[in-house]
Amino acid sequence: MSRYLQPSAELRERILTQGGYAPEENRRIYDKWFSHGPRLQFQAASLKYDLTGKVMCDIGCGYGMNLVYTQPGSYGIEVDSYAVQFARSIGLTMHSLDFMHDDISHLPKVDVVWCSALLEHVESIHIFLRRISFLLKPNGLLFIYVPTIPLIPALRHVTGLKRFTTGYLYSDHINAFTPSTLRFFCERAGYETAEVSPFMPGVLGAFNHVPLLNRLVDGCTYVGRRIPDWEYPEHATRRVASSGVGFEYKASFVDTGLLASSRQETPVESD
């Protein structure tokens, strides 16, 4: 028996009969988004971290393809009203809002936040990651999947490899990552890294620790744990705040290193 998540006959029937659109549209949505189960990244993460046993928030959840496998209390965040209406019609809890700009203070805390193929679109990566921390319970898990810049971008010119090496170049992407930069972004936003995995599925995970090899593929999954009472590094100009952006600038600060340097370089005039 396969350990991977697959739609049950009950789920298929619910979507086809209770979906909020015409029968042919319900079937189209089921065939495209539900019939094969969740995508590989979610499947692999679920096997390792038991996502189906946790309460989850899926940011950018589409029609709810992952949420149908999670625990009661889970919910999705989505800006596409068409997808929201459909997901609600099959019994999923959906919040129709712009996660970057709308108020999220009313949203329940969860065990897991899942965010796939979204961070490459947002205007401010750091603010986005800081806002996620407000949704997570102490020590809650963050999962982020992004396309990445491959080690050898020129491979896109090789017949058959273009689709595996150019995901980061899609026209609506404004951010690009490598495994190392993805990790840095998340750690500087208050998360303790559990793994950074281009090769999360199965035995291929061993290649994550081989230098350069982890950049041969286009895509990477970050897994991190929210650090309770996290704060910015000692000399940072920001500090954690419960504002909409997750931080505030200190009222005043002095770059003591720069000040000392300027004092040394300023000539002293003699009388």
For residue 251, pLDDT over 70 is answered with yes
Is residue 28 a part of any domain in this protein?
Answer: no
**C-alpha to C-alpha distance for 157 and 141, rounded to whole angstroms:** 38
Is residue 17 a part of any domain in this protein?
Answer: no
CATH number at residue 159: 3.40.50.150
Is residue 16 a part of any domain in this protein?
Answer: no
Is residue 1 a part of any domain in this protein?
Answer: no
**Burial class of residue 72, CB neighbours in 10 A (0-12, 13-18, 19+):** exposed
Domain extent for 203: 37-230
Query: Can you name the residues that pair with 240 across neighbouring β-strands?
Result: 247
pLDDT digit string, tens, across residues 116-160: 999 999 999 999 999 999 999 999 999 999 999 887 776 666 676
Enter the pTM of the model. Answer: 0.85
Number of domains present in the structure of the chain: 2
Is residue 248 a part of any domain in this protein?
Answer: yes
Query: Can you name the residues that pair with 196 across neighbouring β-strands?
Result: 222
pLDDT digit string, tens, across residues 74-93: 999 999 999 999 999 999 99
Query: Do 198 and 257 sit in the same domain of this protein?
Result: no
Give the H or E element holding residue 105.
Answer: none
Is residue 8 a part of any domain in this protein?
Answer: no
**C-alpha to C-alpha distance for 137 and 113, rounded to whole angstroms:** 10
**C-alpha to C-alpha distance for 115 and 222, rounded to whole angstroms:** 10
- pLDDT at position 215, please? 65
Question: At 136, is the secondary structure helix, strand, or coil?
Answer: strand
**Do residues 142 and 226 touch, judged by C-beta distance below 8 A?**
yes
